[in-house]
Amino acid sequence: MLQNTKLFENLLNVNRSFAERLVNAIKKIAANLRNFFKENPLEAKTEYGQALLEAMNKVENRVQELWDEAVAQGIRAEKSESNNNIWYSDRTSFAEQVDKAQTSSWNNRNALFVSDTPDILLDLGLKQLPVLYTKAHLMEALKPKSNNNSHWHGLTSEQVKLMPEILKSPAIIMDSLSTSDDIVVISDYLDNDGAPIVAVIHTNGQGIYELQTQPSNFVKSYYGKDKGFESYIKRALTNDKILYISKEKSQSLYRQIGLQLPNGFNKLGFNKIIRQSNSIVNTLSQQNSDRFDADYLSAVERGNMATAQKMVDEAAGYTSPKLYHGTKNFGFTEFDLVLKTKP
């Protein structure tokens, strides 16, 4: 298969999702092998270790070449969003975009198309929008870490290229501890310092294509969470921020970083949506508020004060039945404090 470009091209055309998973699985094996040799330098120096690492690197590089060739031979269909005629390519792999974005041939006005919103994020309430990532964020993620700039994350291109897989199959998903409209996707991949790689997504946000605005779920940050990860998760548990936990991947993550899985995970349960994201609830609340304002103003402009008052009453939760003083046949117009009730 590694010598058959046509076979790989057919696989991509018949089942693109499987082809992506295959490529990403091979990359993950290679990354895990490199991490193993990094943690066991004596093994890496053995003849067997060197041969194994060299062979794995060749396989990884060849698979990437086959992917790129297959995509190049396929239909590089430009996807048009009919609502605002925004164009972008969803037939070009994210890995290819990451490489191209680091050259002068990339249009700096365009974001990178990561993927469509994965099913797991749709289950949390996100809309089916393109997931976007800017070149500016990419270049900062690739710069070596620095105490002088917290936006430089020291990732490799290969680690960035894992983003579609990480979003599709995360270890943990949680609402952001700092903002109300972001979610945090935590993977079981580690950066070069052994920190879990996470993606922060601004839900129902926007990206720019050719100077036009495109609705999107926007990756605003992608980095290794290297400071206080254990306490970070504890605070998320305490504040009811956890949305989803993969049993297999969370166990893999905690095993790699040498920590025990929190007891709170067992109480919440695994491999299920614990609850929908507050970021979606907040978005819907704002949308409902905007809709209410528009409908209320429309009723007032039409002079339909009964409808306007009814809307205010319902919004305030006033749904009590009408109450009558003495009789429901009307005729009562005011309280007279002089009159006395019968004994």
How do residues 112-148 score in pLDDT, each as one tens digit? 899 999 999 999 999 888 899 988 899 999 999 998 8
Q: How far is CA 264 from CA 110, 184, 245, 269, in A?
A: 41, 18, 11, 9
Provide the angle, in degrees to the nearest 10, between the axes of the packed helices 47-73 and 16-39: 160
Dist. CA 291–CA 285, nearest whole Å:
10
Average pLDDT, the chain: 78
Residue 83 has pLDDT above 50, yes or no: no
* Bridge partners (DSSP) listed for residue 245: 172
Whether residue 228 is predicted with pLDDT greater than 50 in this model: the reply is: yes
Residue 74 — very low, low, confident or very high, per pLDDT cuts 50/70/90?
Answer: very low
Instruction: Determine which of 34-38, 151-155, 158-162, 270-274 has the lowest per-residue pLDDT on average.
Output: 34-38
pLDDT band at 318 (very low <50, low <70, confident <90, very high): very low
- Return all residues near 50 (Cβ < 8 A) that are at least 6 apart: 44
Per-residue DSSP letter, 128:
S
Burial of 82 (0-12, 13-18, 19+ CB in 10 A): exposed
Q: What percentage of the chain carries pLDDT values higher than 90?
A: 39
Instruction: Return d(Cα 20, Cα 15) in angstroms, integer.
Output: 9
pLDDT average, residue stretch 279-294 = 53
SS3 label, residue 219: strand
Give the model's pLDDT for residue 40.
Answer: 87
| For residue 276, pLDDT beyond 70 | yes
Distance CA 74, CA 282 (A): 41
| Collapsed DSSP state (helix, strand, coil) of residue 260 | coil
The first and second tokens of residue 265, run together, are 């995970």
